Amino acid sequence: DLTFRFFLQKGGGSGYASPVTIGSMLYDGNSLVDSDHSYHIMTETNHRLLNVSYDIHYVGNWSLETFRRQHISAEGVYDAKTGSLCMIACRVVNISLDCEILVTAQFSPLDTKVAQHVKGTIRSLRKKTDPLFFEPLDIASYGLYIDKVDESMWRMDLESTMALISMTLSCLFIAVQLFHVKKVPEALPAMSITMLVVLSLGYMIPLVLNFEALFKNSNKQTFPLSGGGWLEVNEVIVRIITMVTFLMQLRLLQLACSARSMDVSKDQSWAAEKKVLWICLPLYIIGAVAAWVVHMQFNNNRRMLRKVARLPRVNRHAFWEDLVSYGGLILDGFLLPQVILNACLGSKVKALSPGFYIGSTMIRALPHVYDVFRAKHFVPSLRPFYRYANPRDDLFSLAWDIAIPCGAILLSVLLFLQQRFGGAFFICSKNRKASEYEMVSTVSS
């Protein structure tokens, strides 16, 4: 636990701190040596105060003009009872040696639940007028203590169960809509084809990606993280239910297209559907272009960062990954095409069952609610693995976790009011009333 990665809280940057010696023993990265003196080692490490030395590497500024990889060597004392670390450090600046650096760190107790298990400061002891002076660097580390691994496994089991429940409910809500269109036949031609296509793609793309990942990982050995292989069984069940849901969604799309082609007012319906495409498609394209710009900027910054700081090459972040996350945002607003279609047609037909659009909206909003809960109650790790509310499937941050559920609920409320008062009630209510008054006066004359 004395080895940790950290990030700089101001200005960005990250680093790595590793012990060189603990007491009179060397630290080889995994354990203390020498094993021939195990009794001496145990006696020494049980002391409250230990002399320690560290190698610390960090990138001190995200500004590429002054961006350099720093290395400092530190020696000091670790208090095993309080978890505090205090060291004097040295660094090489050009041809000068600066040894007036204070490094302090506080390790959190094992029985506390905190997001950062190490917090500290790298501070210059020189005066501000000294050329070697630098502003204090506040550091914090994300990580898991050994006894937090069980909590992480419990979180994965919880997320697997939530993913299973979510997909099962999605299948159930589509079944509710299928029963609704049998009960209300005029609902089929009034459904937005664009909305149904978006939902169908939302179920198809995860199936394709999982199928591709299955071949990529076929030669890799995996190890279950929870007892009984529940995660693996759960994943198989989720894929099966996703396939069933996708087929039911295709059936709903096929019924809507058939009913639209046989409808007496099909010309008007298809004309309104074209208007929906003319509005939604540019919005989707603009969003995709914005995602591409952000992706290119991110990769460009990382490439410059690797070049200047001489960091090891890592796998390039693929654009399709950002595109999948953006697709999750489109799915969050799946009701938008239906709201626009209702506004164009001015129809009061209950095209969508309340159970379908309210339930589906809740399914899209709940991952963002859970993401807020997860950030507050679970300790994040350097390489997190998510079974539910995965950032690869949607956009997750505090701002998105607020905006997306609010937007989805707003669309649901608009759809409810449209099916109750008419599709264009919020656009041309004054014009509609004026036309009604004009009709009454004509009849009376």
Q: How far is CA 201 from CA 165, 204, 247, in A?
A: 20, 5, 11
At 70 the pLDDT is: 80
Alpha helices (H) along 145-265? 149-183, 187-190, 193-216, 230-262
CATH code where residue 97 lies: 2.40.128
As for how many domains the chain has, the answer is 2
Query: From the CA atom positions of the chain, what is the Rg in Å?
Result: 30
At 384 the pLDDT is: 67
At 96 the pLDDT is: 81
Give domain status of residue 441, yes or no.
no
Q: Which two tokens stand for residue 137?
A: 């660097």
CA geometry: angle at 249 spanning 190 and 416, to 5°?
40
Give domain status of residue 442, yes or no.
no
The last residue of a domain, from among 143, 174, 201: 143
Q: Which pTM does this prediction carry?
A: 0.67
Instruction: Compute the distance between CA of residue 160 and CA of residue 286 in angstroms, rounded to an integer.
Output: 34
Instruction: Compute the distance between CA of residue 71 and CA of residue 57 in angstroms, rounded to an integer.
Output: 5
Instruction: Identify the domain containing residue 258 by its residue range.
Output: 148-436
The last residue of a domain, from among 90, 109, 143: 143
Give domain status of residue 195, yes or no.
yes
Positions in the chain short of pLDDT 70: 1, 11-12, 27-47, 60-68, 109-116, 142-150, 211-230, 301-317, 379-384, 426-445
Instruction: Compute the distance between CA of residue 24 and CA of residue 45 in angstroms, rounded to an integer.
Output: 10
One domain, residues 171 and 298? yes
At 196 the pLDDT is: 95
One domain, residues 339 and 194? yes
Give domain status of residue 268, yes or no.
yes
One domain, residues 239 and 168? yes
- Say what angle helices 230-262 and 149-183 make with each other, to 10 degrees: 20
At 366 the pLDDT is: 95
State pLDDT tens for residues 99-118: 999 999 998 765 555 555 78
Q: Which two tokens stand for residue 78?
A: 């670790």
One domain, residues 85 and 109? yes
Question: How many C-beta atoms lie closer than 10 Å to residue 187's C-beta?
Answer: 21
At 28 the pLDDT is: 57
CA 11 to chain CA centroid, Å, is 23
Question: Do the beta carbons of residue 283 and residue 407 sit within 8 Å?
Answer: no
At 73 the pLDDT is: 92
